[in-house]
Amino acid sequence: KDEEMMEVSRLYVGLAEQITGTKLPISKAPRKEITDALAELGLIR
């Protein structure tokens, strides 16, 4: 299941890069970035 998710992610990144013509930045800490953004919006503590 994890490998399927990674394949979908690679496909999405490849498509986004083709559409925009730029390299998509890959987060090293996506969970932290998401929780920080939600906290900043007051949606979580």
The pLDDT of residue 43 is 98
Left if phi > 0, otherwise alpha if psi is -120 to 50, otherwise beta: which for 3? alpha
Helix (H) or strand (E) holding 3: helix 2-20
The pLDDT of residue 8 is 96
If one counts every other C-beta atom within 10 angstroms of the C-beta of residue 45, the result is: 6
- In angstroms, the CA 1 to CA 25 distance is 24
Reduced DSSP (H G I as helix, E B as strand, rest coil) percent helix, strand, coil of the chain, to 5: 65, 0, 35
The pLDDT of residue 3 is 94
The pLDDT of residue 23 is 97
Q: pLDDT tens digits, residue range 1-45? A: 899 999 999 999 999 999 999 999 989 999 999 999 999 999 999
The pLDDT of residue 38 is 98
The pLDDT of residue 1 is 84
- In angstroms, the CA 13 to CA 10 distance is 5
